[in-house]
Amino acid sequence: MNTAVTVERLEADAPSTDYDPYANEVLDDPYPHYEMLRELGPVFYLTKYKAYGIARHAEIDPVLRDPATFCSSAGVGLANFHTTTPWRKPSIILEVDPPMHARTRKVMGGLLSPASINRMRAMFEREAEELVDRVLAKGRFDAVTDLCEAYPLRVFADAVGIPREGRDKYLLPYGDMVFNAFGPVNERFKACLAKAQDGAIDWIAEVCKRENLTPDGLGMQLYKAADEGLLEPEEAPMLVRTMLSAGLDTTVFTLCNAMLSFSRFPDQWDLVHANPSMSRQALEEVLRYESTFHSFYRTTTREVEVAGVRMPAEQKVCVFIGSANRDPRRWGETADKFDVTRKAAGNLAFGTGIHGCAGQMIARLEGEIVLAALARRVKRIHLEGKPVIHYNNSVRGYTSMPVRVEAA
């Protein structure tokens, strides 16, 4: 007699969807789509891209805190570096796992720590005041080009210590490519790569060299860390490249999202205007409500179960952090409300875990300073036309946003 018993399997297969996170119509307003994804279940399967997806806060957070199971060394985009050749040499901090990661992250973390970046505050504030002077004198201006792009292109690139010549032309197109590369090789990716190959990639490689950096900037400090033996000599330019890849488009788009949110919700601007010391908290709510970075991937190193759903090894898993930041399970019934008085801490705009944004303190510093400078002098931000979205496979921002500011 056959006495074999069947082992009860508690894991289920993930629900499937043919949803395309990268379609223009989705990028125009992703939030209703995110609700649909969250309602599919804790884990779903994107048939169009053969990848798993997670859109709820409760499940994304632990995935990002488990780099042994959900690794970065196969790339943090849709492309699996084990099977396809990346468009550039992989990053030595973003696209690596422990133990390699700890060494580069430690150096980068030191340079970008609150103590180090506090020394930049005075310069950042001076530049913000000057910029706000200029836009107030204009009254009507383009918030994207005249403010949101102008500020990081000046202060962050000066902090890194690269030449001023060429910044306007090459820095943002390079970052655009970096962030498009976290999605599929679609028409958007191809057009962007063609543009980046027309000068930006070569320019970036050039300005990362020691001889092109100012003596007191963050870039040169990376070379000094190599002199001290904390990095291999060839790693210093790679980490300058990381700063220039991750630090421009992101802060530009965060400022765009702030300007748009405060023009759409003047009652929220009233609060910040009345109390400019709220600027840092207000920026945190901008990051939650309109995340800059919306989605990226990890790759499973083994078969794993998340919330009762089984995923095989070597699978791409897309984490929709822009959705986690609107998840009512985490933020309550008012998740879709822009509310600068809320406790927005715990949002995943900068990711979390060992790969959580190394530059988040400097990013917050830039945002806080610009908002505070505006808050002290601007009573109202009026949108004067439809903002033009900048379509990108993983980050969200604008190419133009006509505004008028009313002086206080």
Residue ranges in contact with ligand OVV by CB under 6 A: 91, 93-94, 178, 241-242, 245-246
Comparison of 93 and 162: residue with beta carbon closer to ligand OVV? 93
Give residue 351's identity as a one-letter amino acid code: G
Cβ-in-10-Å burial (0-12, 13-18, 19+) of 112 comes to: buried
In the complex, minimum distance from the CB of residue 72 to ligand OVV, in angstroms, rounded to a whole number: 10
Instruction: Determine the residue with CB nearest ligand OVV.
Output: 91
In the complex, minimum distance from the CB of residue 161 to ligand OVV, in angstroms, rounded to a whole number: 17
- What's the residue count for the chain? 408
The residues near 388 (Cβ < 8 Å, ≥ 6 apart) are: 398, 399, 400, 401
Comparison of 296 and 398: residue with beta carbon closer to ligand OVV? 296
- φ, ψ of residue 305 in degrees (nearest 5): -115, 130
Structure tokens at 134: 């200029």
The residues near 147 (Cβ < 8 Å, ≥ 6 apart) are: 131, 135, 141, 255, 259, 370
d(CA 256, CA 387) in angstroms, rounded, equals 10
Comparison of 86 and 328: residue with beta carbon closer to ligand OVV? 86
In the complex, minimum distance from the CB of residue 47 to ligand OVV, in angstroms, rounded to a whole number: 27
In the complex, minimum distance from the CB of residue 33 to ligand OVV, in angstroms, rounded to a whole number: 23
Comparison of 207 and 304: residue with beta carbon closer to ligand OVV? 207
142 and 383 Cβ atoms separated by less than 8 Å: no
289 CB-side CA count, 13 A: 26
How many Cβ atoms are within 10 Å of 361's Cβ, its own excluded? 18
Collapsed DSSP state (helix, strand, coil) of residue 250:
helix
In the complex, minimum distance from the CB of residue 357 to ligand OVV, in angstroms, rounded to a whole number: 6
In the complex, minimum distance from the CB of residue 233 to ligand OVV, in angstroms, rounded to a whole number: 18
In the complex, minimum distance from the CB of residue 81 to ligand OVV, in angstroms, rounded to a whole number: 14
In the complex, minimum distance from the CB of residue 346 to ligand OVV, in angstroms, rounded to a whole number: 20
